[in-house]
Chain A
Amino acid sequence: MSDELPLPVPGSEATPTPTDPAPRILIAPTAGAAPASAPTTPPLGRRRVPPSHTLGTHLRATILFLALSVLLSGFAYPAVVVAVAQVIEPNSANGSLLHYPNGTVAGSSLIAQNTSAPFLFWSRPSLTDYNTTLGADTPPGPTDPALGQLLNETLNYTREYGNFTVNASLPFWFVAPSASSIDPDLTPEAVLIQIPRVSEASNLSIAFLTSLVNAHIDTSIVPYVGVSYIDVLQLDLDLLPLEGR
């Protein structure tokens, strides 16, 4: 066993000379704890073992270590990453912003907005009214009676203002609240069923809208990873000029 776990490391215990660099592995025997296997290792007696830290040394090390860490973690590290990120991928580094033709910021392609107008495709419902501050607005638990109530309200609202028939069955993802409340994506199925309403409100043909929607189906940069979905805000912003708005 002690052959298998040789300590100290062979070679690191050469007799120290004044120019000898500090051994890479520390052997600091304390009084009374001398290894019983001492005969197999060279004597350590001639090397001066540094005294253990005083409380003052500890306090100094603590304060200086924290100060260095703050500079590194709060400033140097993010500064380096920001500097490189702004060069290699400025679009996503600045929040994947979407603009109107006049340059005003419309939103971020990664954040849903309230698009519940007849002439636009709707996103998933939001418990925060598409406010990016989430707060305590999480969906009700699975056995909470409030869940069925919430889904019924969303279904009724969507049917009434979304131009669906009274008892139409709607895709679950279209009416279920998301985790972030700003999920910008929808399943293709949930976008396609909105086409009749958008067509009626915008005078664009169903065939044209269908091809527009299909062109917006996102596929991952890695094939077959994830599910296919549509970024609704991106779709709506592309739709606006086509509707002449």
Chain B
Amino acid sequence: MALEVQSFWDVVLLLVLAIAVAPWFGAYLGRVYMDRPLPGDVVLTRIESAIYRLLGTSPRRSMPAREYMLAILLVNGAMLAFLFWFFFDQASLPFNPTGVPNMTWDLAFHSSSSFTTNTDFTHFTNESQLSFGALDIAWQLALFLSAATGLCVMAAMVRGFVRKDGTLGNYYVDMVRTISRVLLPISIVGALILVLLGVPETWTATVIAHPITGGTQTIYLGPVASWQTVSLLGTNGGGWYSANAASPLANPSAVSNLFLIFLMLLIPFAAPFAFAQIIRRKGEAWPFMGTILIVLVIAFGLFVAFQAVNNPALASVTGLGPQTNGYPVGQETRFSLPEGSLFQVVSVYGNVGANNMAIGSVTPVAQMVLLFGMFTQSTPGGEGTGFGMLLLFAVLAIFVGGLMVGRTPEYLGKKIETSHIKWAALALLIHPATILIPFVVAVAGGFVQVDGATLPATAHNFTSVLYEFTSESANNGSALSTGAFTDSTPFFNVVGALVMLVGRFVPIWAMLKVGDLFSKQEALPPSSGTLRTASGTFTIYLTLFLIITSALLFLPVLAMGPLAQIVGGM
């Protein structure tokens, strides 16, 4: 298919719009976390103060990194326990109109870990294995709180650059303000827009339809629009339906598809500007924004280009019409090739993990493009934590650059020392560790099975298992493996849950620790030897550093899976 330039106009316009909104919304986010006056204070400040009193905390009680982490672990741990109990016991809990049975302990552990860590990787089929109440009450709680936790971590880490008293803020206050000032207002407006675009929003759980050709069809409904909005805004990526954003009820048209992309980009694009607002140097946002955009646009370009080519494996199928509007297997009719592809690339690169296509069906190069986004985790990456990761990449890049030219590495006037690098490297290296070790154990231990039989070691099966753990470690949640192998086994459930928990909370601790170290340092005045980070040179250096580091960490395993698939066509 010839790619038509004019078919790109709407996705380009959407990206331009998302970039245009980012500085403004980022400044707003920065003000939220620095407790500055905001529109809505008249009403919300009173409510927030009442909540702080109820919780027994106050904005004046700022926490050092260790206490901030304790609060994160308490809230997230309690949420994990609540979700586990709900899924493990959903048959006897209220709001189960379709009579869904309980989850097994291992599936409940995987699911609750998955939602708590902002991953939303599912080893079950929503419609038949999750009750209405589990979706609305348990999962939706995690949609809000896991997204808010990510943003709080970013805020706490960035405050380390401007604080000198060794504290990073109050986690409970940050959570309350994230929900009241960011997630809730945008979600309400976004959900109503989705309803106008055709998404259901009702308390009715199911409707039985009577098709023309006989039989019955169960149509699952519910508060889909409100659920889906916070899922994508908070880079969770779970779907009310098992078909996620490919389901025509959740994503009815090309326009709703564009709107969902905008929701996914809103907070990750604003994060660098929130950072710049908090440190009060507007120019420092652009190297990060530039890095994110360069990687994202290259990924999108590659994805579209390789979805437009003919699949050589189908040369023997006679009578297949020419490919128009991209490769149609596992795609939905209503999206154009650029629209559908941008959703998928943004979703995976933003660690949202929602699908509007069957990604197991995309071409091998496109699969590798998606994998790469989860290797970097930071372009733009998940809510808050993606930008935190990018800051750690910047710290490492400045350190390496400083060593190469023989300068004392410093960022924003703060010296980068061995201790910073240790924590940044930990966050960087825990990712391949939690991908590659379980991957090797799963493949070598014969755990990759379908119907009890171990799968042959083809490149596609390798890719499926690699994608599974990469998605879990990056807290992404998109699945290539659905149907490729049985994923709801005790091995994949328990190991997957542990991978997600480690892949979430170890980098969070590293981010807080780096913020903590910076918060105890004095800022040095800039000198002639200071590296200018708000520059195009630094942007390109950071981009290359990020791409090369990520590629080097994962090249061997790419050779076994996707590269072999591309070359060998297995």
Interface residues in A222-239 by Cβ distance below 8 A to B read 222, 224-227, 229, 236-237
Most buried by A among B209, B364, B565: B209
| A179 lies within 8 A of B246 (CB) | yes
- Complex contact A30–B314 (CB within 8 A): no
A173 & B201 in contact (Cβ 8 Å cutoff): no
Residues B137 and A74 in contact, CB atoms below 8 Å apart:
yes
Contact of B201 among A5, A23, A28, A85 (CB under 8 A): A85
| B335 on the A face (CB < 8 A) | yes
A201 is an interface residue with CB less than 8 A from chain B: no
Is B418 on the interface with A (CB-CB < 8 A)? no
Interface flag for A216 (CB, 8 Å): no
- Of the candidates B165, B215, B317, B358, the one whose C-beta lies within 8 Å of that of A27 is B165
Q: Is the interface of A mostly helix, strand, loop or mixed?
A: loop
CA distance A184 to B63 in the complex (A): 53
Instruction: Tell me whether B313 is interfacial, beta carbon within 8 Å.
Output: yes
Query: Which residue of A1, A107, A144, A171 contacts B211 across the interface (Cβ within 8 Å)?
Result: A107
B201 near A93 with CB under 8 A, answer: yes
Q: Is residue A15 within 8 Å, beta carbon to beta carbon, of the partner chain?
A: no
Determine whether A42 belongs to the interface, using a CB cutoff of 8 Å to chain B. no
A1 & B483 in contact (Cβ 8 Å cutoff): no
Partner of B249, one of A65, A110, A134, A189: A110
Known: A94-B204, A113-B212, A144-B460. A65 touches B175 (CB 8 A): yes
- The chain A residue sitting closest to B210, CB to CB, is A104
Q: Is the CB of A35 within 8 A of B198?
A: no
- Cβ contact of B71, chosen from A58, A75, A130, A181, cutoff 8 A: A58
Q: How large is the interface on B (under 10, 10 to 19, 20 to 34, 35 or more residues)?
A: 35 or more
Does A180 have its Cβ within 8 Å of any Cβ on chain B? yes
Assess the B523–A2 pair: CB atoms within 8 A.
yes
A126-153 at interface with B (beta carbon < 8 Å): 130-145, 147-148, 151-152
In angstroms, Cα B324 to Cα A173, docked, is 8
Q: Which residues from B are CB-within-8-Å of A14?
A: none
Q: In the complex, A144 Cα to B481 Cα: how many Å?
A: 13
Q: Does A73 contact B (CB under 8 A)?
A: yes
Q: Does B528 contact A (CB under 8 A)?
A: no
CA distance A135 to B144 in the complex (A): 26
Shortest A148–chain B CB gap in Å is 5
Q: How far is the CA of A72 from the CA of B200 in the complex (A)?
A: 20
Taking a contact as CB atoms under 8 Å apart, the answer to whether A74 and B333 are in contact is no
Complex contacts, B497 vs chain A, CB 8 Å? none
A133 cross-chain contacts in B, Cβ below 8 A: 125, 127-128, 218, 242
Say whether A197 faces chain B, with CB atoms less than 8 Å apart.
Answer: no
* Interface residue B17 (Cβ < 8 Å from any Cβ of A): no
Q: How far does the Cβ of A67 sit from chain B's closest Cβ, in whole Å?
A: 10
> Cβ of A177: which chain B residues have Cβ within 8 Å of it?
329-330
Inter-subunit contact B323/A178 (CB<8 Å): no
Q: Of A5, A139, A172, which contacts B322 at CB under 8 A?
A: A172
B60 near A141 with CB under 8 A, answer: no
Given the interface pairs A36-B522, A66-B75, A229-B334, the reply to whether A78 lies near B128 with Cβ below 8 Å is no
Q: A169–B64 contact, CB under 8 A?
A: no
C-alpha gap A157/B318 in the complex (Å): 14
CB-CB under 8 A from B248, the residues of chain A are 110-111, 180, 182-185
Could you tell me the distance in whole angstroms from the C-beta of B38 to the nearest C-beta in chain A? 11
Which of the segments B221-229, B288-296, B505-513, B535-543 contacts the partner chain? B221-229
24 A–B contacts, CB within 8 A, in A order: A1-B413, A22-B58, A27-B165, A66-B82, A69-B145, A70-B82, A72-B144, A77-B140, A81-B192, A81-B223, A85-B192, A113-B212, A115-B212, A133-B128, A136-B483, A139-B330, A142-B311, A143-B459, A143-B570, A170-B320, A173-B325, A183-B332, A221-B255, A225-B255
Nearest 10 A/B pairs, CB to CB:
A226-B254, A179-B246, A74-B137, A78-B223, A85-B201, A180-B243, A185-B333, A136-B483, A176-B328, A81-B226
User: Beyond A36-B164, A88-B196: 18 further Cβ-contacts under 8 Å?
Assistant: A69-B179, A74-B141, A81-B226, A85-B195, A93-B202, A93-B225, A108-B249, A111-B249, A132-B219, A147-B313, A148-B317, A151-B329, A171-B321, A172-B320, A173-B324, A179-B331, A180-B241, A236-B212
